[in-house]
Amino acid sequence: MIETVDLRRGAYHDSVSLMQVSRAVAATAGVHAAQVAMATELNVEVLTGMGFTVPAEAGTNDLVVAIRAEDEEASRVAQAAVEDALAGLRRGDRGAGGLGAAPDPRTLGSAVRRGAATLVVVSVPGAHAVTEAYDAVEAGASVMLFSDNVSVEDEIALKEAAAAAEVLVMGPDCGTALVGGVALGFANVVRRGDVGIVAASGTGAQQVLCLLDAAGVGVSHCLGVGGRDLTARVRGRSTRQALTALAADETTTSVVVVSKPPDLGVLGEVEALATDLGLEVHWATLGEGRPDLTAAVEGFLRGRGDEVPAWPAVVAAESPDASADGGRGADGRRGDALRGLFCGGTLADEAMIVAAPVLGPIRSNIAHDDALLLTGDLRAPGHVVIDFGDDGLTRGRAHPMIDPSLRLERIAVEAADASCGVLLLDLVLGHGAHPDPAGELAAAIRSAKAVAGRDLPVVVALVGTAADPQDRAAAERALAEAGASVFLSNAAATRHALALLGHAVPTDSAPAATPPAEGDHRAESVHRSPATGSSSTGVGELLTSDPVVATSGVSLFADELRAQAVPVTEVRWEPVPEHGRAPLARVMADRRRAHANALALARMTAAEATLVDVVPAREALGLEAGTLLHAGPPITWERASGPMRGALIGAVLFEGLASSPEEAERQLAAGVFSWEPCHHRDAVGPMAGVVSPSMWMYELRDEAHGNTSWCSLNEGLGKVLRYGAYGPDVIERLHWMTDVLGPLLRQSVRATGPFDIRAILAQMLQMGDEGHNRNRAGSLMLLRELLPGLITADGSPSDIAAAVRFSGANEHFFLNLGMPACKLATMAAHGIPGSSIVTTMARNGTDFGIRVSGTGDAWFTGPANTPEGLFLGDYGPEDANPDIGDSAITETGGIGGFAMAAAPAIVKFVGGDVPFALTATQTMYEITEGEHTAYQVPILGFRGTPTGIDVTKVVRTGILPQINTGMAGRVAGTGQVGAGLVTPPAACFDQALAALAATVPDPA
């Protein structure tokens, strides 16, 4: 025996797909056991139960491939089968469609916006489902929430958000819907017509759909609302939205609500709404003393004046009246217990409601009475009804409508149990269900009858239509040939089973004898008036156009939709790491967030940036002697990196505060001077970003928001202070800039300015710059603005010539204006309560820090990464310092690495290739709030650059902002060693999210 347990990191697949893989591999010859699953706690338990030893380091995001095979050969074949099956799952990840194709959408919001989806289907695990659903609601799409394990609190909050956004949430745990003839999840193919269905029950809705279809009555839409919607807590929130949508739909004339008995208060509210909408509402509510679903449908049909047909039924020859000895088998034995084995929860419930008054107590895994609740192996003497679709039986396996194996096993068990008198089963056909469920069930029935050694009648409620993919007629034939009695009506099937047990049951469901419950057929005289019905907006729009769908989770849904000619966008969803889940759910549910982020983006894109002056830092920033500014988040001397220390030393020397580098270093280490981030004074500085009082600063102004920002003058390339160089030539250049360049630039700006920097940024993106590491066009355009004033400035011709030469020789001359322009944009977006938009990204060479609009001035930091890219001369990776500089403000403002597609030539400088540049920009749309209105990317059809990094999207997708940057030498004084690409550490965003979560007010 060969046993292998293989661990694959970061290979996520949804559980249904993996179950299919497991099943396929287990069926390989020579394989005794196989399980392919994500290493969740539950799955590890299952694997351990199967006798496999799972490595202790396995985490929930790891894929475990466990195989026990006869020999080496079989093991190899099984491994190959796993690879094949996994490759098949990946096929959905469509290959690149050309040069730098856009990546698959990673969030539902992105998919909705890209594909103009009106509806999303969420089937990711429950812990993540609410987050996905919020995203879709925020993007303006209605949601079918297939996932279960959603708390009532989350359900209420989500439905509140949906009502505010005028969309519908179907679910949670909604398995069945039919929108405009499109089946979502488990739904039957029924004729189109004028009856709308609102369903708080999946298989209940399917029973009603199939009965109506058999009666020749068509259905317009079937909208699920989730099993708890009509309870006192949820208050029919989705039912109301669904009714509003149906009222606005031209084709719908009446509505049937399928549900457990609703809360009476809620019932009244829903009825009042229906009256306001002019909508005729009928209730098919399943409960003790209420008509069963078949009776409710019959009542509805009679109310419409339609004929009630004889429901399809095939009765097997073994029926009691056909047998002279009262149904006993040849050996005279026969059990007297009813054993109901169901896939559909509502059908199981209905069977018990019909049978209990006749049989007495029935034990069940879904019994409402604790005394009757079955647990453990679900065996008990007497009458038993089991719902195999219940949560407790679907953990770690697919729903029995897809994977019937558990129920098939139980049928064999019941066959061997002499007390089992009748087997009552259901079989639900339609989209989403097993492609040939009747074949397997018929075989199981045949074998059960053969091994029983007694007369074992089998009754099946076969819920399906002629148009279902599985063909109801063929299924009925197969089951009847196996010796089962087959009914379309579950209630009729149950009554037949009771009769087989020798109980006297009225064969008719006798709806007339059942007093109509409150609400039944009450609205017959009320006919909808289109005048009020069609004037609504919002959720009323859901049903006005053919559905366009986005899906997140099980790919089965997307496949089913494609087969129905529905446009589908599939999200490449991956689970959020454990520690991010709770804060993410809280922040996503923050009702302030959507508006706050929209506002942040609007302000960011509306911010102006005008160069109004050039001023010494002393005046501009009120920088006192002995005070220095630096790039990034706060840093101590002890933790400062080489280039940061070098720049601080250089600034001290430049200010004449020390006579030698050694003395400067001693003073700095001793705390003689103080320093703080440029950002704390609304300024920015590239690389080390060190600013001292005598240095001159550009002053930029945003009149729209009343903000001012500053940045130092660019020193040129090579050995410069910002890269940590502090040699005599560096200091000398700084003096020249202070004495000559600064005053001349001031004259120019004052004489011919102010200059619109934002306009230059917009133009340079169309000229091959991205504004961070490529500033050629921008520098030339800036020079064009400055030159007239420079040339006519009051100064010596040689000084003017030197200033012009210096400015023109530096292709990054413009960077020091682009940065404060972006700073102004992010300042405008800062400080909005509830906003999860990043307003600062900055590095000090040791730490990477971010600040977020909704969390004020707090920094969230993590260790800075070292850029990867190309090196100058003989320098190599070992020479590079970790990421440094405030220049990531460009990416924060929507340019730089985010606009890489605008500057394909950048790849020669930072590494990578042209398709990479295009893909990089397109990937950033997955984590940004929106697009810039002024900064555009020509090659993407002048699409606005991705702008406004959203912390929640970064955490959800794991996509980190792409930053283009220069690389400083690790050793102080080295200067620039290269340029490349870098990302922030994920920890910054995790911390920011946790802090944002703490600001979310508790729901009132």
Among the listed ranges 247-255, 705-713, 900-908, 924-932, the one in contact with other proteins (CB under 8 A) is: 247-255
Output DSSP code: residue 739.
Answer: I
Rounded to the nearest whole angstrom, what is the least distance from the CB of residue 546 to other proteins in the complex? 4
- Is 516 a residue that touches other proteins (CB under 8 A)? no
Output DSSP code: residue 849.
Answer: E
CA separation, residue 359 to residues 347, 363, 484, 499, 862 (Å) = 17, 11, 22, 11, 67
Angle CA 260–261–266, to nearest 5: 115
CB neighbourhood size of 195 (10 A): 25
Among the listed ranges 296-304, 398-406, 559-567, 742-750, the one in contact with other proteins (CB under 8 A) is: 559-567
- Is 531 a residue that touches other proteins (CB under 8 A)? yes
Contact 823, 889 (CB under 8 A): yes
- Is 80 a residue that touches other proteins (CB under 8 A)? no
Rounded to the nearest whole angstrom, what is the least distance from the CB of residue 456 to other proteins in the complex? 41
Rounded to the nearest whole angstrom, what is the least distance from the CB of residue 353 to other proteins in the complex? 35
Q: In this complex, which beta carbon is closest to other proteins, that of residue 271 or of residue 929?
A: 929
| Phi, psi (deg, nearest 5) at residue 258 | -105, 120
- Is 941 a residue that touches other proteins (CB under 8 A)? no
- Is 92 a residue that touches other proteins (CB under 8 A)? yes
Q: Which 3-42 positions form the footprint of other proteins (CB under 8 A)?
A: none
Rounded to the nearest whole angstrom, what is the least distance from the CB of residue 611 to other proteins in the complex? 34
Of 564, 763, 866, 999, the one binding other proteins (CB under 8 A) is 564
Contact 956, 576 (CB under 8 A): yes
The C-alpha atoms of residue 952 and residue 927 are separated, in whole angstroms, by 8
Among the listed ranges 69-77, 234-242, 545-553, 932-940, the one in contact with other proteins (CB under 8 A) is: 545-553
Of 169, 424, 425, 568, the one binding other proteins (CB under 8 A) is 568
Q: Which of 998, 971, 785 is nearest to 878 (CA)?
A: 971
User: What residues have CB less than 8 Å from 670, skipping those under 6 apart?
Assistant: none
Q: In this complex, which beta carbon is closest to other proteins, that of residue 247 or of residue 817?
A: 247
Q: Which 96-115 positions form the footprint of other proteins (CB under 8 A)?
A: 97
Q: In this complex, which beta carbon is closest to other proteins, that of residue 555 or of residue 957?
A: 555
Q: In this complex, which beta carbon is closest to other proteins, that of residue 562 or of residue 805?
A: 562
Among the listed ranges 414-422, 490-498, 535-543, 859-867, the one in contact with other proteins (CB under 8 A) is: 535-543
CA separation, residue 634 to residues 159, 630, 842 (Å) = 43, 8, 10
The C-alpha atoms of residue 140 and residue 594 are separated, in whole angstroms, by 11
- Is 164 a residue that touches other proteins (CB under 8 A)? no
- Is 535 a residue that touches other proteins (CB under 8 A)? yes
Rounded to the nearest whole angstrom, what is the least distance from the CB of residue 220 to other proteins in the complex? 9
Rounded to the nearest whole angstrom, what is the least distance from the CB of residue 128 to other proteins in the complex? 25
Contact 355, 497 (CB under 8 A): yes
- Is 250 a residue that touches other proteins (CB under 8 A)? yes
| Phi, psi (deg, nearest 5) at residue 609 | -155, 100
CA separation, residue 448 to residues 342, 378, 420, 481, 567 (Å) = 16, 19, 11, 14, 44
3-state class (DSSP) for residue 882: coil
Q: In this complex, which beta carbon is closest to other proteins, that of residue 563 or of residue 858?
A: 563
Angle CA 713–719–721, to nearest 5: 45
3-state class (DSSP) for residue 681: helix
- Is 541 a residue that touches other proteins (CB under 8 A)? yes
Task: Supply 409's token pair.
Answer: 């096993």
Rounded to the nearest whole angstrom, what is the least distance from the CB of residue 224 to other proteins in the complex? 19
Task: Supply 187's token pair.
Answer: 């739904």
- Is 93 a residue that touches other proteins (CB under 8 A)? no
Report CA torsion sign: 549, 552, 555, 556.
Answer: negative
The C-alpha atoms of residue 110 and residue 105 are separated, in whole angstroms, by 6
Q: Long-range contacts made by residues 20-24, C-beta under 8 angstroms, separation at least 24?
A: 20/85, 21/82, 21/85, 21/86, 21/89, 23/403, 24/81, 24/85
Of 4, 79, 231, 251, the one binding other proteins (CB under 8 A) is 251
- Is 544 a residue that touches other proteins (CB under 8 A)? yes
User: What residues have CB less than 8 Å from 734, skipping those under 6 apart?
Assistant: 650, 654, 695, 715, 721
Contact 176, 343 (CB under 8 A): no
Q: In this complex, which beta carbon is closest to other proteins, that of residue 97 or of residue 305?
A: 97
**Size of the residue set binding other proteins (CB under 8 A):** 30
Contact 262, 236 (CB under 8 A): yes
Contact 486, 310 (CB under 8 A): no
- Is 261 a residue that touches other proteins (CB under 8 A)? no
Among the listed ranges 153-161, 477-485, 536-544, 597-605, the one in contact with other proteins (CB under 8 A) is: 536-544
DSSP characters over 433-483: S-SSHHHHHHHHHHHHHHHH-S---EEEEEE--TTSTT-HHHHHHHHHHTT
Of 333, 368, 395, 562, the one binding other proteins (CB under 8 A) is 562
The C-alpha atoms of residue 885 and residue 383 are separated, in whole angstroms, by 74
Measured N-to-C along each axis, helices 405-416 and 437-452 cross at an angle, to the nearest 10 degrees, of 20
Binding to other proteins by CB under 8 A, coded x per residue (else -) over 176-195, reads ----xxx---------x---
Query: Position of tokens 């006297």?
Result: 504
Query: Position of tokens 């320098």?
Result: 875
Q: In this complex, which beta carbon is closest to other proteins, that of residue 166 or of residue 811?
A: 166
Rounded to the nearest whole angstrom, what is the least distance from the CB of residue 584 to other proteins in the complex? 29
Rounded to the nearest whole angstrom, what is the least distance from the CB of residue 934 to other proteins in the complex? 18
Q: Can you give the three-state secondary structure of 34-55, one letter per residue? A: EEEEECCHHHHHHHHHCCCCCC
Rounded to the nearest whole angstrom, what is the least distance from the CB of residue 194 to other proteins in the complex? 12
Q: In this complex, which beta carbon is closest to other proteins, that of residue 216 or of residue 656?
A: 216
Q: In this complex, which beta carbon is closest to other proteins, that of residue 421 or of residue 432?
A: 432
Query: Position of tokens 């590239």?
Result: 686
Of 310, 330, 565, 1004, the one binding other proteins (CB under 8 A) is 565
Of 79, 534, 667, 738, the one binding other proteins (CB under 8 A) is 534
| Ranges of H-type helices in 262-404 | 264-277, 293-304, 345-359, 391-394
Of 153, 288, 546, 732, the one binding other proteins (CB under 8 A) is 546
Of 566, 585, 648, 687, the one binding other proteins (CB under 8 A) is 566
Q: In this complex, which beta carbon is closest to other proteins, that of residue 101 or of residue 308?
A: 101
- Is 680 a residue that touches other proteins (CB under 8 A)? no
Q: Which of 922, 920, 1004, 937 is nearest to 114 (CA)?
A: 922
Of 10, 49, 94, 443, the one binding other proteins (CB under 8 A) is 94
Q: In this complex, which beta carbon is closest to other proteins, that of residue 49 or of residue 530?
A: 530
Among the listed ranges 174-182, 207-215, 898-906, 964-972, the one in contact with other proteins (CB under 8 A) is: 174-182
Among the listed ranges 351-359, 492-500, 565-573, 969-977, the one in contact with other proteins (CB under 8 A) is: 565-573
- Is 324 a residue that touches other proteins (CB under 8 A)? no
Among the listed ranges 153-161, 558-566, 680-688, 996-1004, the one in contact with other proteins (CB under 8 A) is: 558-566
- Is 667 a residue that touches other proteins (CB under 8 A)? no
Of 450, 512, 563, 809, the one binding other proteins (CB under 8 A) is 563
Rounded to the nearest whole angstrom, what is the least distance from the CB of residue 450 to other proteins in the complex? 40
Report the interface residues with other proteins, using CB under 8 A: 91-92, 94, 97, 180-182, 192, 248, 250-251, 530-531, 534-535, 537, 541, 544-546, 548, 559, 561-568
